Structure 1
Amino acid sequence: MATIELRDVIKSYGGAEVIHGVSLDIADHEFMVFVGPSGCGKSTLLRMVAGLETITGGDILIGDRLVNALEPRYRDIAMVFQDYALYPHMTVRENMAFGLRMRKAPASEVEEKLAEAADILQITPLLDRKPGQLSGGQRQRVAMGRAIVRRPSAFLFDEPLSNLDAKLRVDMRTQIKRLHALLKTTTIYVTHDQVEAMTLADRITVLRNGHIEQVGTPFALYERPANLFVAEFIGSPAMNMVKAYYVVEGDRAEAVIRDDLRIALPPYGVQNGTEVVLGIRPEHLEPSQFRPHGNAMTFPATTKILEPLGSDVMALCELSGVELTARLTPGRVSRSGESVDLVFDTAHVHLFDAEGGQRIEALGAEAA
């Protein structure tokens, strides 16, 4: 077990800098997820921690050790890859034991750790099979078992579920979460899937273009995104975003989207007339006849497209020329073209600077 610390880490290829002075502290036992779109630098950052990529500048510490110049085998980490990286000519038993045997571990220790890992991952009946005889989910569990038997200071996962179908992804997420709760090994997990990030992480690091956009718990990122990028990236479906003007008239503040679409707001420390972006998540929009409450503002709307998802219905609605997605429960609307009075839950409105994209906090709001 170990902490992991990145201090002003830089990575360049030729003259092109792709990681720009990233600093991050990962606590002992923590499950940290790196998330972001393709090309944001998350896998490069992970590979630098692993020692598979050299760093151009800065420092990486695992525990109390500076590992900048250490080869991967000396960093006391285990990595699980997207493509499993199993030896096809070896049995499951041989694949899982390979690292320990290369380190000349005693046979009794190898067998003990092998049996323990196989039991944890429920793959004991598969030990004498070869990878070609296994399903994708079984192969991924073997890859995880090979990492477990080493009992490293840290696990590094590089998009391990991206080759699996939807059901297997959910099953394997549960396996990984259960594994971390049992072993409590410091973990860095890379994914482009924000649902994976939200369900697995103790904390999430959101990356874009080699920069950290925000670090926080899943709840903090969802409830108080630091900027427009995080607000749109975290959450499925994405947060609704509309341009507006922050207008103060007497003791009343509003976000004016259209003359007939004005959202009451608490006071913000921005100038009257400032252009802003108003965000609201789909679950905070509902037909008014089903959910009247004190923070409600209702507006006439028309449903345009309905997407039934079983427990939810995603409804694309138009109000005053603006399209917004609402997350509804089945039966609240029945068809496209239906008229509804749509509620804005103003207690859950987010405001962002239209020019820089940074979050604007209401006066008196506590920092996240």
Structure 2
Amino acid sequence: MARISLQKIVKRYGGMEAIHGVDLEVEDGEFVAFVGPSGCGKSTMLRMIAGLEDISGGHMRIGDRLVNDIEPKGRDVAMVFQDYALYPHMTVRDNIGFGLKMRGEPAETIRKKVEEAARILQLEDLLDRRPGQLSGGQRQRVAMGRAIVRKPKVFLFDEPLSNLDAKLRVEMRTQIKRLHRMLRTTTIYVTHDQVEAMTLADRVVVLRKGSIIQHGRPLELYERPSCRFVAEFIGSPQMNILPGRVASSDRGTVIEVGGGAIPLSHLPVPVGTSLDVGLRPEHLEPCAPEEADFVAEVDVLEELGSDTLAICLMGEREITVRVPADRARSLGRTQPLRFDRQNLHLFDAANGQRIDFIA
């Protein structure tokens, strides 16, 4: 296992800078997920750690070694790709042990390591099959087995589940989580799926346009996003954002939003400031008219089984409300809604940065 240190890491392609001076410390044994929209730089970052992309500036260390100029084979990292990269003419046994064979390890040592990896990944009954005889999930486990047998200091996963169907993705998430709990190998996992990141990682790193926007424990990013971008990216369905404005009333400072006025004890911005008001679907609740913070028109109901997503209209703006399935049946066409002030999020409308307040 090893600590990974990124200090002012830069990546340039000609005159274009794709990664802008990134600083990040990944602790020994930690599971870190890189997330962000397409083109944000997450896969480029992973490939630089693996040694598959040159570093244009800054310093990268794995353990105590500076690895900027060390070839991939010398970094003691193992990478799992989304396309499995298995040899179709080889058995599962030979695919898993191929890297060890190339390193010249004794046949008996290879056999023991392959069988140990197969046991961990529940592949014992498949060792004599070829990749074409396996399901997508089984092939991904073989790719993981090939990484495990090397016992590297670092595991790198590049969107490994993107080719699997929804059911297999859930099963493989569980498998990867168990694997990390068992091996405690330092792991960096790249995904565009924030649900994968939230469920797997000890810490989530959100990237945008080649820079880290925020990093922290999954619930920290969910409960205290640093900006509107993170707030909308983390959470499914995504956070509702409504335009608001700070105003003064006989009740003190209020936020005018959705036709209502929300009083707050302390808000560190002047009257007249435009805000983006964030409310997660699960923090909005149908209520009686006299308890309402605002009223919305129920447009579409999406039944998910245990709960229902109510797609509502407030003027021309659409919001989503998550309600228990049994309560969805009683929703009116025009529905009063309320929310807990502790679950309100405020962002500066001009720069998107979080504004802290006292409810």
Q: What corresponds to 1:332 in structure 2?
A: 327
1:202-241, aligned counterparts within 5 Å?
202-241=202-241
Aligned to 1:277, what secondary structure does the other structure show? strand
Q: What corresponds to 2:287 in structure 1?
A: 288
For each residue in 1:150-188, what CA deviation from the matched residue of structure 2 results, as whole angstroms up to 9, or x when unmatched? 000010000000000000000000000000000000000
User: Which amino acid in structure 1 is aligned with residue 160 of structure 2?
Assistant: P
User: Which amino acid in structure 2 is aligned with residue 276 of structure 1?
Assistant: L
Aligned to 1:254, what secondary structure does the other structure show? strand
5+ long unaligned stretches in structure 2:
none
Q: What corresponds to 1:53 in structure 2?
A: 53
Q: What corresponds to 1:181 in structure 2?
A: 181
TM value normalised by structure 1: 0.94
User: Which amino acid in structure 2 is aligned with residue 158 of structure 1?
Assistant: D
Seen in structure 2, the aligned counterparts of structure 1 residues 242 and 300 have a Cα distance that, compared at 3 Å, is: closer
Structure-1 separation of matches of 2:128 and 2:208:
43
Residue 148 of structure 1 deviates from its aligned partner by: 0.3
Q: What corresponds to 2:297 in structure 1?
A: 302
Structure-2 separation of matches of 1:169 and 1:195:
11
Q: Is the 8 A contact 2:40 2:210 kept in 1?
A: yes
Structure-2 separation of matches of 1:335 and 1:39:
43
- Residue number among 328, 336, 342 corresponding to 1:341 in the alignment: 336
Q: What corresponds to 2:270 in structure 1?
A: 271
User: Which amino acid in structure 2 is aligned with residue 221 of structure 1?
Assistant: L
Q: Is the 8 A contact 1:80 1:144 kept in 2?
A: yes
Q: Is the 8 A contact 1:256 1:262 kept in 2?
A: yes
Q: Is the 8 A contact 2:312 2:320 kept in 1?
A: yes
Q: What corresponds to 1:108 in structure 2?
A: 108
Count of matched residue positions in the alignment of Structure 1 and Structure 2: 359
User: Which amino acid in structure 2 is aligned with residue 132 of structure 1?
Assistant: G
For each residue in 1:23-59, what CA deviation from the matched residue of structure 2 results, as whole angstroms up to 9, or x when unmatched? 1000001000000011100000000000000010011
Q: Which moved further from structure 2: 311-320 or 8-17?
A: 311-320
Q: Is the 8 A contact 1:11 1:19 kept in 2?
A: yes
Residue 214 of structure 1 deviates from its aligned partner by: 0.3
Structure-2 separation of matches of 1:170 and 1:61:
33
User: Which amino acid in structure 1 is aligned with residue 341 of structure 2?
Assistant: T
1:87-126, aligned counterparts within 5 Å?
87-126=87-126
5+ long unaligned stretches in structure 1:
none
Q: Percent identity?
A: 60
Q: What corresponds to 1:152 in structure 2?
A: 152
CA RMSD in angstroms, aligned pairs only? 1.8
Aligned to 2:325, what secondary structure does the other structure show? coil
User: Which amino acid in structure 2 is aligned with residue 270 of structure 1?
Assistant: V
Structure-2 separation of matches of 1:59 and 1:271:
43
For each residue in 1:216-235, what CA deviation from the matched residue of structure 2 results, as whole angstroms up to 9, or x when unmatched? 00000000000010000000
Q: What corresponds to 2:308 in structure 1?
A: 313
Structure-2 separation of matches of 1:171 and 1:289:
41
Aligned to 1:331, what secondary structure does the other structure show? helix
User: Which amino acid in structure 1 is aligned with residue 84 of structure 2?
Assistant: Y
Structure-1 separation of matches of 2:355 and 2:74:
46
Aligned to 2:267, what secondary structure does the other structure show? coil
Residue 197 of structure 1 deviates from its aligned partner by: 0.6
Residue 319 of structure 1 deviates from its aligned partner by: 4.1
For each residue in 1:96-130, what CA deviation from the matched residue of structure 2 results, as whole angstroms up to 9, or x when unmatched? 11111111112222111111100000001111111
1:237-252, aligned counterparts within 5 Å?
237-249=237-249, 252=252
Aligned to 2:326, what secondary structure does the other structure show? coil
Aligned to 2:327, what secondary structure does the other structure show? coil
